[in-house]
């Protein structure tokens, strides 16, 4: 199955591909974390520093939460910038309404 | 009875009714009622999104789960935190561009409108029904416990207030009640986190050492345990937590309240900031409770049972940390949370009935706004009454499976259809409806046969299907059916005209 986005809406700043890529990264990291817990629990139970209390489970789990937020910010910044560029281009060339 | 709790509770009821009164004066047409006039700012919508996503389950439920199971409870917080980013990556701005009031607006853009709206409204109502009943039953039990009111009275009270907000104030009132609640919850959470950390000299390592040393299986609390026992259920749960949010009608509806795609994106940045911080902080509440409540006879009774049930851990923690004042504040926050979430759910359900079924399917769009608004208000009352009746019918039942059922159905029916209708040009109406319906039925059927209903509700010794939740089967099945039916239909003689 090929995922082919519809022609972008005139004011669509975030292209479908950007959103799909961000989804793939977050899903990949989160499902890897889950799979580690399911198939290699001893890795997640190991402390980060020998004798320390923080396990890799905490580091990676908080990492997933942080990654979700960071990717959201990156996505919004890129999409907003593209939208501004597209709107500016449209204002310059009134005949062409393409976003990209 | 706690006078401070009652004062806080009355203050919240008074404030929310004042908001409703103000919103009712400003709600004139369907655009105001369903989408707050489309004038909600990014920060406001971000707070409202946080309010919708952080249900009482997120606060009371997660704290209780971590208290009971350590990191196995924290897994839920990590999973839920991935839900809102997925909504922005895949859906937020497309919803804003393609739809007006409901997610069925979006799925019917490129497909045959009448069947898609019937499917969309039906799937939305199923998801909302399970979510709503679980919230109402939880609310009744909580209020009964906190304020000593009878369960039936408590359910009727919550239901009555919710009908009042939605019927008179529509999306405007629902959004502002949600914003107030989100602020209260974030402030309350921050206060509890600081009070917990203070006990450990603001040293997280000391907190975890404490948690690991007060329980016999201490070290097991610091890493996932359950996933290794049932790996496929763990992956299935991960899928449900990650993609379920993107299929919840009351969350999707929030994106019609902002003016444009940019505001939709920016509101999720705000929303994700609040939601992620709160979910990360649940570790402090949960692990803190393990240490602070251990050996406290006022919180944990003989035999290690939490007094009032596992959902009361956060409430006990607040009382032990800050006495009656904190207990009152946190109880009031929990109450406000429940009210706000049930109001959002009811509004989403009412719009499915009045906008999708009545205005677009029955009258094919030939309806005046005043009439649609009237139907919407009638639907609100009907849904509210039904929720109260079901809430009372399910009193004392184990309804935890209903939330996971709502998430499983959302990511196996509404989510696949929505994503494919936006991203895959090849989707046909028949494919979408077949895939969405089979996904819905599979999620429902496999949950009934699974551990959370077959064993815990019906009392059989072993589940027919051990996968819990069933998302690992039902979600791919929905996508596959959508694809297969669409392809076979397109292979057939007539190609559908590409309706733009």
Rg of chain B over all Cα atoms, to the nearest angstrom = 22
The string of pLDDT tens digits covering residues B361-415 is 888 887 788 888 889 899 999 999 999 999 898 887 777 778 878 999 999 999 9
How long, in residues, is chain B?
A: 500
B136 in Cβ contact with B335 (< 8 Å): no
Residue A49 structural domain: 16-92
> Using CA atoms, how far apart are residues B214 and B132, in angstroms rounded to an integer?
37
> Using CA atoms, how far apart are residues A38 and B63, in angstroms rounded to an integer?
23
| DSSP secondary structure, B224-278, as one string | --HHHHSHHHHHHHHHHHHHHGGG-HHHHGGGGSSSSHHHHHHHHHHHHHHHHHH
> Using CA atoms, how far apart are residues B119 and A94, in angstroms rounded to an integer?
40
pLDDT of residue B5: 75
- Tokens 């920060």 found at: B43
pLDDT of residue B386: 93
CB atoms within 10 A of CB B6: 16
The string of pLDDT tens digits covering residues B411-447 is 999 999 999 999 998 999 999 999 999 999 999 999 8
H or E element in which residue B333 lies: helix B313-351
> Using CA atoms, how far apart are residues B86 and B125, in angstroms rounded to an integer?
22
Angle between helices A16-39 and B71-81 (to 10 degrees): 170
pLDDT of residue A93: 67
pLDDT of residue B282: 95
Tally C-beta pairs within 8 A across A and B: 165
B128 in Cβ contact with B410 (< 8 Å): no
Q: In the predicted model, what is the mean pLDDT of residues B71-94?
A: 93
In our burial notation (b when 16+ CB lie closer than 10 A, e otherwise), range B214-249 reads eeeebebbbbbbbbbebbebbbbbbbbbbbbbbbbb
Asked if A8 reaches chain B (Cβ–Cβ under 8 Å), the answer is: no
Nearest to B234 by CA among B223, B226, B222: B226
Nearest to B2 by CA among B320, B333, B323: B323
Give the number of domains in chain A.
1
B212 in Cβ contact with B368 (< 8 Å): no
Which residues in chain A touch residue B78, judged by CB atoms under 8 angstroms apart? Answer: 30, 33, 61, 64-65
The answer as to whether A5 is a domain residue is: no
Which residues in chain A touch residue B219, judged by CB atoms under 8 angstroms apart? Answer: 45
Instruction: Please report the sign of the dihedral spanned by the C-alpha atoms of residue B238, residue B243, residue B244, residue B250.
Output: positive
Tell me the average pLDDT of chain B.
89
Which residues lie across from A26 on neighbouring strands? none
Token reading at A30: 């989160």
The string of pLDDT tens digits covering residues B40-55 is 889 999 999 999 888 8
- Tokens 């602020």 found at: B183
The answer as to whether A6 is a domain residue is: no
pLDDT of residue A46: 94
The answer as to whether A79 is a domain residue is: yes
| DSSP secondary structure, chain A, as one string | ---BPPSPPTT--S-HHHHHHHHHHHHHHHHHHHHHHHH-HHHHHSBSSTT-S-BHHHHHHHHHHHHHHHHHHHHHHHHHHHHHHHHHHHHH-TT-----
Provide the whole-model pTM: 0.89
The string of pLDDT tens digits covering residues B89-142 is 999 888 888 888 888 899 998 899 999 999 999 999 999 999 898 888 888 877
State ipTM: 0.90
The answer as to whether A1 is a domain residue is: no
pLDDT of residue B459: 86
Q: Which domains are delineated in chain B?
A: 3-400 (1.20.1730.10)
Identify which has the larger pLDDT, A77 or B307. Answer: A77
The answer as to whether A76 is a domain residue is: yes
Torsion of CA B248, B253, B259, B261, to 10 degrees: 30
Residue B201 Rama label (left phi>0; alpha psi -120 to 50; beta) = left
Do residue A68 and residue B231 have CB atoms under 8 angstroms apart? no
* Burial category of A94 from C-beta neighbours within 10 Å (exposed 0-12, middle 13-18, buried 19 and up): exposed
Token reading at B129: 């029904």
* Burial category of B42 from C-beta neighbours within 10 Å (exposed 0-12, middle 13-18, buried 19 and up): buried
Give the three-state DSSP class for B70.
coil
Do residue A53 and residue B209 have CB atoms under 8 angstroms apart? yes
Residue A4 pLDDT exceeds 70: no
Identify which has the larger pLDDT, B365 or B63. Answer: B63
Residue A51 pLDDT exceeds 50: yes
Which residues in chain A touch residue B225, judged by CB atoms under 8 angstroms apart? Answer: 41
| Nearest chain B Cα distance for residue A99, angstroms | 14
B195-204, B225-234, B447-456: least confident range = B447-456
Do residue B273 and residue A69 have CB atoms under 8 angstroms apart? yes
pLDDT of residue B500: 38
Residue of A9, A13, A14 to mutate, interface with B, max B Cβ within 10 Å: A14
pLDDT of residue B492: 65
Do residue A76 and residue B88 have CB atoms under 8 angstroms apart? yes
Nearest chain A residue to B281 by CA: give it. Answer: A62
Asked if B268 reaches chain A (Cβ–Cβ under 8 Å), the answer is: yes
| CA end-to-end span of chain B | 61
Give the three-state DSSP class for B215.
coil
Rg of chain A over all Cα atoms, to the nearest angstrom = 20
Give the three-state DSSP class for B300.
strand
Nearest to A37 by CA among A17, A56, A65: A56
Do residue B423 and residue A20 have CB atoms under 8 angstroms apart? yes
Residue A6 pLDDT exceeds 50: no
Nearest to B208 by CA among B137, B283, B142: B283
> Using CA atoms, how far apart are residues B121 and B142, in angstroms rounded to an integer?
31
∠ CA B194-B199-B203, rounded to 5°: 80
Show which of residues 32-91 on chain A sit within 8 Å of chain B, judged by CB atoms. 33-35, 37-39, 41, 44-45, 52-58, 61-62, 64-66, 68-69, 71-73, 75-76, 79-80, 83
Q: In the predicted model, what is the mean pLDDT of residues B74-90?
A: 94
Which residues lie across from B300 on neighbouring strands? B306
B293 in Cβ contact with B218 (< 8 Å): no
Q: Percent of chain B at pLDDT above 90? A: 49
| DSSP secondary structure, B420-488, as one string | HHHHBTT--HHHHHHHHHHHHHHHHHHHHHSIIIIITTT--SS-SS--SSTHHHHHHHHHHHHHHHHHH
Which residues in chain A touch residue B471, judged by CB atoms under 8 angstroms apart? Answer: none
The string of pLDDT tens digits covering residues B305-321 is 888 788 889 989 999 99
* Burial category of B352 from C-beta neighbours within 10 Å (exposed 0-12, middle 13-18, buried 19 and up): buried
H or E element in which residue B141 lies: helix B113-147
> Using CA atoms, how far apart are residues B483 and B489, in angstroms rounded to an integer?
10
């Amino acid at each position: 199955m090929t995922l082919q986005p519809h022609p972008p809406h005139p004011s669509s700043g975030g292209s479908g591909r950007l959103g799909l890529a961000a989804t793939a990264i977050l899903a990949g990291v989160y499902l890897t974390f889950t799979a580690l817990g399911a198939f290699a629990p001893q890795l997640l139970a190991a402390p980060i520093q020998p004798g320390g209390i923080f396990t890799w489970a905490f580091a990676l789990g908080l990492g997933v939460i942080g990654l979700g937020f960071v990717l959201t910010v990156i996505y919004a910044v890129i999409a907003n910038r593209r939208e501004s560029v597209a709107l500016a281009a449209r204002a310059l060339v009134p005949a062409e309404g393409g976003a990209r | 009875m706690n006078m401070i709790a009652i004062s806080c509770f009355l203050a919240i009821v008074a404030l929310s009714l004042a908001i409703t009164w103000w919103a009712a004066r400003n709600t004139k047409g369907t655009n105001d009622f369903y989408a707050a006039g489309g004038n909600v700012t990014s920060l406001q919508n971000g707070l409202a999104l946080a309010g919708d996503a952080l249900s009482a389950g997120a606060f009371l439920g997660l704290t209780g789960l971590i208290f009971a199971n350590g990191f196995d409870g924290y897994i839920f917080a990590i999973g839920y935190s991935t839900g809102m980013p997925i909504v922005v990556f895949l859906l937020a701005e497309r919803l804003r561009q393609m739809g007006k009031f409901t997610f069925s607006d979006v799925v019917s853009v490129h497909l045959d409108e009448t069947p898609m709206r019937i499917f969309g409204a039906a799937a939305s109502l199923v998801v909302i029904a399970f979510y709503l009943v679980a919230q109402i039953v939880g609310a009744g039990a909580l209020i009964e416990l906190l304020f000593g009111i009878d369960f039936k009275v408590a359910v009727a009270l919550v239901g009555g207030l919710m009908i009042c907000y939605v019927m008179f104030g529509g999306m405007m009132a629902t959004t502002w009640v949600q914003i107030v609640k989100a602020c209260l919850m974030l402030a309350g959470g921050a206060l509890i986190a600081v009070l917990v950390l203070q006990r450990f000299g603001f040293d997280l390592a000391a907190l975890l050492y404490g948690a690991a040393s007060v329980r016999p299986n201490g070290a097991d609390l610091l890493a996932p345990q359950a996933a290794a026992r049932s790996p496929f259920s763990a992956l299935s749960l991960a899928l449900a937590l990650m993609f379920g949010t993107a299929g919840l009608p009351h969350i999707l509806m929030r994106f019609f309240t902002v003016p444009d795609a940019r505001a939709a994106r920016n509101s999720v940045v705000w929303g994700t900031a609040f939601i992620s911080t709160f979910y990360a902080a649940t570790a402090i509440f949960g692990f803190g409770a393990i240490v602070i409540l251990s050996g406290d006879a006022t919180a944990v009774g003989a035999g290690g049972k939490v007094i009032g049930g596992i959902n009361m851990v956060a409430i006990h923690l607040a009382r032990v940390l800050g006495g009656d004042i904190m207990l009152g504040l946190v109880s009031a926050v929990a109450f406000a949370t429940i009210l706000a979430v049930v109001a959002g759910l009811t509004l989403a359900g009412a719009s499915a009935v009045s906008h999708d079924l009545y205005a677009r399917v029955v009258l094919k769009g030939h309806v005046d706004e005043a009439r649609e608004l009237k139907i919407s208000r009638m639907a609100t009352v009907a849904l509210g009454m039904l929720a109260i009746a079901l809430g009372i019918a399910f009193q004392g039942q184990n309804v935890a499976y209903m939330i996971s059922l709502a998430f499983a159905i959302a990511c196996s029916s509404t989510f696949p259809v929505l994503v494919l209708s936006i991203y895959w040009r090849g989707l046909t109406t028949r494919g979408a409806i077949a895939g969405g319906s089979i996904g819905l039925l599979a999620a429902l059927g496999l949950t009934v046969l699974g551990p959370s209903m077959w064993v815990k509700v019906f009392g059989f010794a072993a589940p027919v299907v051990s996968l819990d939740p069933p998302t690992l089967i039902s979600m791919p099945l929905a996508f596959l059916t959508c694809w297969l039916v669409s392809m076979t239909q397109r292979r057939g003689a007539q190609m559908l005209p590409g309706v733009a």
